[in-house]
Amino acid sequence: MLSELDFPGLLVGGALAFEQFVAPSRVLFGQISDAHPLASRHRVPYVLIGTAAFCLLAVLSVPLIFQVGRLLQDGSQPGLALGIAALCGLFALYGLAISIATTPYLALVIDRTSEQERPRAVSIIWCMLTVGIVIGAVSIGVSLRSLDGVSDPVVLQAVLSRFMTIVAAAVMLLTVVATWGMESPLRERSDGLPARREDAIGLRQSWTLITSSRQVLIFFSFLILFTLALFLQDPVLESYGAQVFAMPIAATAQLNAFWGVGTLVGLLLAGLWVVPVMGKMATARLGCQLIALSLLLLLVAGLTAKIPFLQAVMVLFGLAAGIGTNSALCLMLDLTLPQAAGTFVGVWGLAQALSRAIGKLLGGGLYDIGRSLPLGDGPYGPFALVLGVELLVALAALVLLARVNVRQFREDTSRSLSQVLELELG
């Protein structure tokens, strides 16, 4: 959208951000999966429904993006306004589908693991996620290599539509296989009413729990800053490679592969060695420090314009992301009560999704601001502005992490849970 179709950066970031603007739905979908089973299961049916929806919407996004590109060239109204609204609406629906799929999925992880098992489970899950990112980035690079130097929108749309359809079919098939047999059906009740979890609590009681501790707000804010420090550059990273380093489309797409390899190593190191030795809090602190260092080196890489340097920094950035993500997720799962697993995961997912939305909108907006300011000759200045702000966010996350207290959180929420259960029993 930025490089080939010449979309404004704010439009790209804003449209993509609508995926996260619907993030409050994660709390609702989490609570629904806690309290309302489908086909006698609380988690897997929601995962399958959400996956089918976001796969379909991903396929539909390609022709819509190119239609908006044509409207931008023509500048016709009100067609352009309607096209932009449709694009934002599609990404909002995509975000709802993601929320339906991922919140019950993480709640299923809590349902099936003990506190001692979760660091290993998180490592495995995120290693597989990262393997998928690497495979995806390599596949994109190989599949789209024929598009290097191609600017004809007709050719681009045909190739990208075909590729997205294949990807969506593969993701749906993998999801069906991966969730098969992962959740046992609930036993039917003798009174004929729908089966429910014995420990399920209502939405009002869930809200009482998540507002019972100031630590919830502190950790919520930390997750926002931490995720923002990872993804603020996301809307402009590939353009950074294209404009500052003169990299072709396939090469910029493979920057995610370098990041993914580093993330995979970081996840393995964190889950198997760093977290057991240093502890979750110290590892999270190390991850934030490494993220800040990586962003500083990304700024330096742009001054050199050397592609190998950029690739090496992306590996380090991935390593920092893997270490920080593993420890942050372990903390997140520790700060979750089994009785309201879906609801708590929805709250933490809301924090992460909100920061992704802010990151995409702010990243694109800062890039546009940078282009309007006298930040020196060449394309480097606007990207430096984005990365500089992101570095400050990483440092702010590090400061906020020092105020997270797991013990205090557990004491507060356990006390509130007892009160809620007393009210439930009358």
22-67 confidence digits (pLDDT tens): 877 877 888 788 778 888 888 899 999 999 999 999 999 999 999 9
For the segment 254-265, the average pLDDT, to the nearest whole number, is 84
C-alpha to C-alpha distance for 85 and 6, rounded to whole angstroms: 18
Q: Note whether residue 384 is domain-resident.
A: yes
Q: Note whether residue 3 is domain-resident.
A: no
- Contacting residues for 374 by C-beta, under 8 A, at least 6 apart: none
Query: What pLDDT score was predicted for residue 252?
Result: 86
For the segment 382-386, the average pLDDT, to the nearest whole number, is 93
Which residue reads 């950029």 in tokens? 310
* pTM above threshold 0.75: no
Q: Note whether residue 374 is domain-resident.
A: yes
Q: Note whether residue 336 is domain-resident.
A: yes
Number of folded domains that form the chain: 1
> Quick one: which of 254, 62, 69, 268 has its CA closest to 166?
62
Q: Give the residue, 299 or 353, on which the prediction is more confident.
A: 299
For the segment 186-201, the average pLDDT, to the nearest whole number, is 52
Query: What pLDDT score was predicted for residue 112?
Result: 83
Query: What pLDDT score was predicted for residue 424?
Result: 46
Q: Given 3-state DSSP classes, what are the helix, strand and coil percentages for the chain, each rounded to the nearest 5?
A: 80, 0, 20
> The domain that contains 416 carries what CATH number?
1.20.1250.20
For the segment 377-397, the average pLDDT, to the nearest whole number, is 93
Domain span including residue 176: 9-182+201-424
Does pLDDT of 419 surpass 90? no
Across the chain, mean pLDDT equals 83
Query: What pLDDT score was predicted for residue 204?
Result: 61
Query: What pLDDT score was predicted for residue 189?
Result: 47
Query: What pLDDT score was predicted for residue 140?
Result: 79
Q: Note the pLDDT tens digit of each residue in 273-329.
A: 888 888 888 999 999 999 999 999 999 999 999 999 999 999 999 999 989 988 887
Q: Note whether residue 188 is domain-resident.
A: no
Q: Note whether residue 324 is domain-resident.
A: yes
> Quick one: which of 160, 158, 154, 153 has its CA closest to 5?
153
Q: Give the residue, 51 or 197, on which the prediction is more confident.
A: 51
